[in-house]
Structure 1
Amino acid sequence: MLPLARTLYVVIDEKITYVYGCSHFHHVIETTSLNKPLKLARCGSLGGVNPSSRNRDEQGRPFNQRPRDALGRPLPYGARDTGADFAVEYESPEQALVVAERLLSDRAPFHAHEILEEAWKADTTVAKEMWRGLAQLAVGVTHAARGNMRGAVALLTRASHNLTPFADNAAHGVRVRELVDWCNTQVDVCHKHPSGVELWLTVPKLHDKQ
């Protein structure tokens, strides 16, 4: 699992907004006026949190062990983490695609995004941005399933943009042309769908097995 507990401080309209999340997901925690006294904690944690009490990996870096559902929404501590249902090891880009495709089919797009994001970060070839586009596609599907149409439109648009350069030279058998067309179509669908109402998008095959 990727670390999900990084905290940022973002100034918007003279207010400080606490945000945490991974590369593509951000969740607003709290907004505080700059006119009020504000004590910023060290190590990126919120005031009142003891950094030594946070979950950390073997290198001492903080991460979040809070369980999540198939859409990445936090569950109460002690609840069953659905991520365990989709924990699959893979050793190649092709296997990562197989796993992500299965997760999307099983309505677990958040976990598919984690697989694809790991592949994106690990890739050192010209295909790196293709993986980024695939991860963004999965995030767009997750936003739509949460009822966040604005987020879905934004991420599917970025996915289309990042996938398009690989339409004529797709690595690992990825069906880039079909996925770009699908993203563009779903952007229109999400634009017309009422915000706040869940929408499950059926993703086509990610790749042709080699």
Structure 2
Amino acid sequence: MASTSSGRQTGPRDRDSEGRARNARPRDGLGRPLPYGSEGVARQPEGVVRAPAQTVAEAQDLLDAGRPFHAHEVFEDAWKSGPEEERGLWRGLAQLAVGLTHAARGNVTGGARLLRRGAGAVTEWAASEAGRQRPYDMDLTGLAQWARHLAEDVERTGTPVDSQVWSPRLRG
């Protein structure tokens, strides 16, 4: 494998069975890439179409295990494959999971910003006609409160959080 003048490795890119670029590097529980050959955690398969209840359950299991980055990937699949009228919901939930990921990695500014953005998206969706029905038994108001509280705590302390301790409850 050759390297560029900046020292970056060049060469064949990881590809999936359909030829799309995929990064096959192992990752840790917070989604950080590890060196090739390292032992990482199992990755969530991309592009999986799940029923909404399955999405919520799988994401909750990952959040409970302290793996918010991987929960974000589950929400992202729902965002990309779900009905147009639900995309704001799933995108907001993905932003909450990524915000928790950044907060756990110690990225205070990015974590707080994404938590607030996700809280805003979830709150906006909850105010919509579809959102008033408590979709998939999720407590959207409680999630938005959790995210805003965590954003404040992260900014106040300036220290990484334990993603397992701060795992939100999707269903109230």
Query: Normalised by the size of structure 2, how large is the TM-score?
Result: 0.82
Aligned to 2:77: 118
Is the Cα contact below 8 Å between 1:164 and 1:180 reproduced in 2? yes
1:160-187 C-alpha deviation (Å, 9 max, x unpaired):
1100123334422221011111111112
- Quote the Cα distance in structure 2 between the aligned partners of 1:92 and 1:187: 30
Is the Cα contact below 8 Å between 1:141 and 1:200 reproduced in 2? no
Structure 1: 5+ residue stretches without partners: 1-37, 40-45
The structure with more strand, counted as a fraction of residues: 1
Query: Normalised by the size of structure 1, how large is the TM-score?
Result: 0.68
Superposition pairs of residues 143-182 of structure 1, within 5 angstroms: 143-167=102-126, 168-182=132-146
Q: Percent identity at matched positions?
A: 38
Structure 2: 5+ residue stretches without partners: 127-131
Aligned to 1:198: 160
For CA contacts below 8 A with separation 6 or more, give which structure has more relative contact order.
Answer: 2
Moved segments of 4+, more than 3 Å: none
Cα 1:173–1:81 change in 2 (3 A) is: same
How far residue 151 of structure 1 moved from its aligned partner, in angstroms, is 0.9
How far residue 199 of structure 1 moved from its aligned partner, in angstroms, is 1.1
Aligned length: 159
- Quote the Cα distance in structure 1 between the aligned partners of 2:37 and 2:76: 26
CA RMSD of aligned residues (A): 2.4
